[in-house]
């Protein structure tokens, strides 16, 4: 007899991308940044490690919030630090959605939102995107209307496209919260700046950011929410007292203070992204123009799983993704390869292998 | 109009002990270990900081689990690492208690359990302890019977006493889970070893441990659950994919591998605890014999809040605690001072000040 809640027994749980613990892999599957974090991060962590680790961290992460507020042009009370934006998304789910409430999210998109809904025991619905990754608002209006919480990654994954502010405004549920998951926002040609928080629906919008991607710090687990201080104050009740540790707070503070380092890396990734997109197109792939550090590539052969397997056999990991229930896709299933923009060398390795595989 | 769940709007949220960010305090209020962590921890964190922080951590924390399993004499599948035992307690609450389920915990005890229940929207009941901190099982049987989840800190806070295995067996709900929160287990004269997991109710027991106390690592946020692998597998669905970061995994692994360091520090704290207990008794306090790194002290004058304030005015922080709804206490309210066992020097500072204050 299981003593778990029935909702928990029913689900399989979220399965993250493969994280091989041995070496020798060209790892283009989980959208990590191929470049190291700022040297200031290493200095800050080394100093913090020699400090008072026997004491609890600052429960509010005040130094980080001050540094982030300066960069983002808001007051520190608009910022809630978290143990990765994963934790922030969990806090948001638990804060706004009870068992009878509806959570919605675009589809195909980041499948974690569905797992978060299941774990919370909330109801959930997919907002089916069009074949060109746009929204059919006429069709979706009733779903948006009845949602308490809508998660939208902007730019989206796996497609890498970015939506307009008008789209996002139209996605804000009339009696609910819109969460803009901006994990990849820094990779846009013109990065987001949280303007929607100052709009007429500003108090219904929460923006989440992560240090895992643009700041090259997936290893430290750090993200944050940005929202009106009244919203942040409510979210703070839900978080664990000391949800961020001394070392990650030191690392994130140093990282956000070194904007030059981050921007140099995102610029390099944008350049490589352009080259990768062109080369994949030459190999016959269709590639969605990306505003992120990955590209979504599909091939007329449809042999995406075979390509993934052939690459993996050569220790090149990309993400094979398959989305059932997409009525406009062949057999109602959209699949393809989501490929992280690595270093130029890693992308050469990938392209050389792919050229052999798809020919 | 608030968009938060009504349960969240209703509560104030948990308030942790004060964490002054300026220096000069004698900090005896949040049961931190006054001694630094093992030098191996500093080495491990420094090395990890120079490693690949741009990559995600091992989602399962395999190296840590292996090291912990060796120390604890179990298989690694019995271990679930978490972002502090706070996160483990949250995962347990969400995994086992739905809105109609009952959570119970001793009272007076660690008040966080009540907040965790409120945040989950579960029902909750206090298991009122007797004046000598023992259980009246005849009276409590119906409450235990109807609980889905019972949290018991063993040793208890604020009292510092430890219960017997027979007590804990009797606390296991017939159709539920008993969580033994062993945050202070390493400070016992004869530390716990998880024997209850091998008892007839073993699959209904989860033991939680933290690195914040005996391992002097409150700053890194690391704890773990120990339970039957079937239970651990279910809990794993609830955790964020990468709930523990690269640096804290490195720190915790190094710390648990240096048992000598931890045991030397806990031995020192036990010795200081004995001296503190004797000195407080000489000042007229009643002190519960403690198996932890703190003592619970009450004084016949009942002027606990005044003593706390007077100490704070001298930059000495202890924890003033007040528990309403205790029918055997004066005015149905139990209050007193919970004092962390610091270094001998810190305890001298406290005792000198208290001698002036209580005279």
Q: How far is A179 from chain B (nearest CA, A)?
A: 13
Name beta bridge partners: B209.
Answer: B224
Say yes or no for a CB contact (<8 Å) between B219 and A57.
yes
pLDDT band, residue A194 (cuts 50/70/90) = confident
What pLDDT score was predicted for residue A204?
96
Cβ neighbours of B94 in A, within 8 Å: 5, 119
- Give the pTM: 0.96
More confident residue, A2 or B177: B177
Say yes or no for a CB contact (<8 Å) between A36 and B53.
yes
Cβ neighbours of B33 in A, within 8 Å: 54
- Nearest residue on chain A to B4, judged by CA atoms? A96
User: In terms of DSSP bridges, do strands B177-181 and B205-210 run parallel, antiparallel, or are they unpaired?
Assistant: parallel
pLDDT band, residue A20 (cuts 50/70/90) = confident
Q: Which of B215, B216, B208, B340 is nearest to B280 (CA)?
A: B340
Say yes or no for a CB contact (<8 Å) between A3 and B57.
no
Cβ neighbours of B2 in A, within 8 Å: 234
Residue A335 makes CB contacts below 8 A (sequence gap 6+) with A298, A302, A304, A305, A320, A321, A322, A323
Cβ neighbours of A14 in B, within 8 Å: 237, 241
- φ and ψ at A298, to 5 degrees? -125, 155
Cβ neighbours of B119 in A, within 8 Å: 94, 237-238
Q: How far is B106 from chain A (nearest CA, A)?
A: 21
pLDDT band, residue B191 (cuts 50/70/90) = confident
Alpha helix stretches (DSSP H) within chain A? 6-10, 39-49, 62-72, 84-96, 112-120, 137-145, 165-171, 229-238, 246-257, 259-282, 304-313, 344-358
In angstroms, the Cα distances linking A232 to A13, A59, A180, A182, A253 are 28, 14, 15, 17, 19
Write down the mean pLDDT value for chain A.
Answer: 96
pLDDT band, residue A199 (cuts 50/70/90) = confident
- Nearest residue on chain B to A216, judged by CA atoms? B54
In angstroms, the Cα distances linking B346 to B46, B201, B213 are 30, 43, 17
Q: ipTM higher than 0.85?
A: yes
Say yes or no for a CB contact (<8 Å) between B176 and A3.
yes
pLDDT band, residue A12 (cuts 50/70/90) = confident
């Amino acid at each position: 007899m299981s003593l778990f809640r029935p909702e928990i027994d029913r689900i399989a749980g979220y399965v993250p991308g493969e994280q091989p613990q041995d070496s020798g892999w060209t790892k283009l599957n989980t959208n990590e940044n191929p470049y190291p974090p700022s040297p200031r991060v290493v200095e800050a962590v080394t100093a913090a490690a020699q400090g008072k680790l026997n004491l609890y961290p600052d429960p509010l992460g005040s130094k980080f919030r001050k540094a982030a507020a300066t960069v983002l042009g808001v007051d520190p009370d608009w910022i809630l630090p978290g143990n990765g934006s994963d934790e922030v998304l969990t806090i948001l789910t638990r804060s706004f959605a009870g068992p009878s409430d509806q959570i919605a999210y675009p589809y195909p998109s980041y499948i974690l939102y569905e797992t978060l809904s299941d774990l919370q025991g909330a109801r959930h619905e997919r907002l089916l995107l069009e074949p060109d990754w746009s929204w059919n608002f006429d069709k979706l209006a009733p779903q948006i209307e009845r949602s308490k919480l809508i998660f939208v990654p902007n730019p989206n994954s796996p497609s890498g496209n970015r939506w307009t502010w008008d789209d996002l405004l139209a996605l804000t549920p009339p009696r609910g919260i819109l969460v803009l998951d901006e994990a990849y926002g820094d990779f846009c040609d013109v990065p987001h700046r949280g303007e929607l928080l100052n709009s007429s629906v500003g108090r219904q919008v929460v923006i989440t950011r992560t240090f895992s991607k643009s700041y090259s710090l997936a290893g430290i687990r750090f993200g944050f929410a940005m929202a009106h201080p009244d919203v942040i104050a409510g979210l703070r009740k839900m978080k664990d007292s000391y949800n961020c540790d001394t070392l990650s707070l030191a690392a994130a503070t140093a990282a956000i203070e070194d904007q030059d380092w981050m921007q140099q890396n995102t610029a390099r990734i944008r350049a490589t992204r352009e080259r990768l997109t062109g080369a994949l197109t030459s190999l016959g792939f269709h590639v969605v123009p990306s505003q992120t550090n990955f590209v979504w590539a599909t091939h007329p052969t449809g042999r995406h799983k075979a390509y993934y397997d052939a690459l993996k056999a050569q220790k090149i990991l990309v993400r094979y993704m398959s989305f059932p229930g997409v009525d406009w896709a062949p057999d109602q299933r959209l699949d393809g390869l989501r490929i992280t923009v690595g270093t130029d060398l890693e992308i050469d390795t990938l392209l050389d292998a792919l050229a052999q595989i798809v020919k």
